[in-house]
Structure 1
């Protein structure tokens, strides 16, 4: 019997890489849509170089693959952030982040809906961010991640009758390569950040991947339209408050 194929965007590093590794361990074949390949390919993984910031490239890639394989498992993980104070935000930044953080997930999900409806089954997981609740310097990023929340809830309502679940995971600070490069463990900034988190630490990419695995499972079929924060409690409040 052919293994199920899961499409993961941005699966070459960070949270996306942990998701790819976990889904492979769970028995999926994984199709990784990213601009750059992972440092090391894994058995069961197929890499496709796709500029998801380009709507045309995104459409072409998904049309090619949905013609080859049934895909009813999708993780919209790819995203970007450019930090800027409100007065410094540019239209170009808006275009880039909207295209990658919002439009690409919509185009990919749209393309896979026919297969999900035909199968009466599907799993869509959107990776959002705790920054959707507001964060300094994240005008556009927080807006796009808040948009992911709205789309998740709307899609869940539209697709529930077909056995398709749609959920969002909103990570807080996660120890990815990019995070660690910008936040060295011994820096005062990192110490302040950890002190603010009720759990007293930053998260690990594999903790996000674990929740993806749970929501992907067939027994996840009664959970839909939810936004689940994986942030050590920071979305609830600051440590000590």
Structure 2
């Protein structure tokens, strides 16, 4: 197996941290971008990805020091609001944090991947793109990441660079559990939509992303893989 170097945004919690740990354990080099450090298994750069100028500066510095083989656009921001309560400033913030770093990071590492004729990009989207209450902004942003992937995949299809999407269902991260403790109404609501009747684990989502970053995934591009316990195909029969 060839050692690769991957850039991951939102890398220190939940799915991002699980992926970073898996890639590092497999012998790859991992560079993470996040606001806080929590025992990261690679090189972490602390940056607020909502700050466009700071993000651009960090990416410029990193691409001068690392040869990147791939990118995982994982950072996200959720501000739940019913449609009657959506504020345009909040909408803009959610769209910006979910989409702007993805474009900036892709633009930063693309020239190097092009020159080497190899690259892997995975955008982390969400099951909410299929419809979810109080997710007007978040679902739109995550749908945007899907659209990015399809367009980029077409543009880059002949370059050796693949671009795909992983769309997780409800995943048992610390943040999710803090908002939906065992036995809560939130837990029951989420479980009712998952045929497997359990939540995903960060390691399970990370494994799907890791596969799409691998050598073996070279003929897969422009695709969205739902990792959701069957939630995207409907409810199980009663």
Provide TM-score, normalisation by structure 2.
Answer: 0.96
Question: Structure 1 residue 102 and structure 2 residue 99: aligned?
Answer: yes
Question: How many residue pairs are counted as aligned between the two chains?
Answer: 237
Instruction: Check conservation: 1:195, 1:239, Cα contact below 8 A.
Output: no
- Give the RMSD, CA atoms, in angstroms: 1.3
CA deviation after TM superposition for structure 1 residue 3, in Å: 4.1
Q: How does 1:91-170 map to 2 (within 5 A)?
A: 91-170=88-167
Unaligned runs of 5+ in 1: none
Query: Deviation digits for residues 21-75 of structure 1, max 9, x if unmatched?
Result: 111012111111001111x233xx0110111112211111111000111112111
> Which residue is 2:29 aligned to?
29
Give me the whole-angstrom Cα distance separating, in 1, the residues matched to 2:189 and 2:140. Answer: 25
CA deviation after TM superposition for structure 1 residue 186, in Å: 2.1
Give me the whole-angstrom Cα distance separating, in 2, the residues matched to 1:168 and 1:196. Answer: 21
Query: Deviation digits for residues 118-167 of structure 1, max 9, x if unmatched?
Result: 01000000000010111110111111111111110000000111100000
C-alpha spacing 1:192/1:143, structure 2 compared with 1 (3 Å): closer
Instruction: Check conservation: 2:113, 2:161, Cα contact below 8 A.
Output: yes
Query: Deviation digits for residues 88-127 of structure 1, max 9, x if unmatched?
Result: 1112212211111011101100111100100100000000
Runs of 4+ in 1 over 4 A off after TM superposition: none
Question: Structure 1 residue 173 and structure 2 residue 170: aligned?
Answer: yes
Provide TM-score, normalisation by structure 1.
Answer: 0.95
Instruction: Check conservation: 1:153, 1:166, Cα contact below 8 A.
Output: yes
Moved more, 186-195 or 164-173: 186-195
> Which residue is 2:61 aligned to?
64
Instruction: Check conservation: 2:80, 2:135, Cα contact below 8 A.
Output: yes
Instruction: Check conservation: 2:146, 2:224, Cα contact below 8 A.
Output: yes
> Which residue is 1:190 aligned to?
187
Unaligned runs of 5+ in 2: none
> Which residue is 2:4 aligned to?
4
Q: In structure 2, the residue corresponding to 1:75 is in which secondary structure?
A: strand
Instruction: Check conservation: 1:55, 1:99, Cα contact below 8 A.
Output: no
> Which residue is 1:53 aligned to?
50
